[in-house]
Every structure is written in structure tokens, then in C-alpha cells.
């Protein structure tokens, strides 16, 4: 069951990465990210932020997968770090001033938090 939760987490992370790639490519979804500060396409700084998010998401997915015994074989500290970042991300997405962002990412990040916590605390 832990591996199913971890793979579910990784699948959702992959979807979020695809979203970030679209933002970098110029998708007009600024109101759905980064506090909804930008209507339409993100400026260059926002796109750089999306690119950095991808790196963080890859780390988080890998940390949770590793904790479930799936590749890579990292120390548990990576899973705890991923869980902490996921908790922060969930909190921020639940209090963002952007209603559209709250409605989209609040439930998604909350589900991700539940999955990550299950994996980390089941070990």
C-alpha cells in the first residue's frame, strides 16, 4: 500500500510538472499560480520560478518514492524534507489570495500532503 501511495504521489507530481512546463512555454494561466499576481502569461521572473519549481518537484517526488522503497535509494531525510515542503505548499495554496488558485491547488496539494505523510509515517 505504501508503494501505491508513493506512486500516486509521483503521478500527481508529474502532472504538476507538466503544468509548470506549460507555464514556462507561455500558457495564460498566471491567475492559477504564484498567488494569482499575473493575469495571463507569466513574466520572465515567473517562468524562472516555474522552472525552479520543477527541480523542487522532482526532488520531492524522488524523496517520497525513495521512502517507499522505490528508486532512488535516498536517506529518509529527503522524504522528511519533501513532506515539510509539501506541508508548506499546501498551507500556501489554501491561503493564497487567488480564489482560482485556492480552488484548483488547495485540494490537489492537500491530497499530495496526505499521500506523502502516509508514506513517510508508515515507514
User: What φ, ψ does residue 28 adopt, rounded to 5°?
Assistant: -85, 55
Are 109 and 89 in contact, with CB atoms under 8 Å apart?
Answer: yes
Q: In this predicted structure, what is the pLDDT of residue 108?
A: 98
Mean pLDDT of 43-65: 97
User: What φ, ψ does residue 114 adopt, rounded to 5°?
Assistant: -60, -45
Q: Where in the sequence is the domain holding 60, given as residue range(s)?
A: 2-121
Question: Which single residue is written with the C-alpha cell 500532503?
Answer: 113
Question: What is the pTM assigned to this prediction?
Answer: 0.93
Residue 115 has pLDDT above 80, yes or no: yes
Residue 113 has pLDDT above 80, yes or no: yes
- What average pLDDT does the chain have? 96
Cα 114 to Cα 28, 30, 49, distances in angstroms = 30, 26, 25
Q: What's the domain count of the chain?
A: 1
Q: Collect contacts of 98-104 with beta carbons under 8 A, ≥24 apart.
A: 98/31, 98/32, 98/35, 98/36, 99/36, 100/31, 100/32, 100/36, 101/31, 101/32, 101/33, 101/35, 101/36, 104/32
Residue 71 has pLDDT above 90, yes or no: no
Amino acid at each position: 500500500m505504501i508503494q501505491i501511495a508513493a506512486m500516486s504521489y509521483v503521478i500527481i507530481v508529474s502532472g504538476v510538472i507538466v503544468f509548470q512546463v506549460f507555464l514556462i512555454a507561455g500558457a495564460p494561466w498566471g491567475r492559477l499560480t504564484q498567488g494569482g499576481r499575473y493575469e495571463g502569461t507569466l513574466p520572465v521572473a515567473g517562468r524562472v520560478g516555474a522552472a525552479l519549481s520543477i527541480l523542487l518537484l522532482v526532488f520531492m517526488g524522488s524523496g517520497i518514492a525513495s521512502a517507499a522503497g522505490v528508486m532512488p535509494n535516498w536517506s529518509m531525510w529527503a522524504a522528511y524534507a519533501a513532506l515539510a515542503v509539501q506541508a508548506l505548499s499546501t498551507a500556501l495554496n489554501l491561503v493564497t489570495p487567488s480564489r482560482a488558485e485556492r480552488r484548483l491547488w488547495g485540494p490537489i496539494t492537500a491530497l499530495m500532503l496526505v499521500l506523502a505523510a502516509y508514506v513517510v509515517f508508515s515507514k
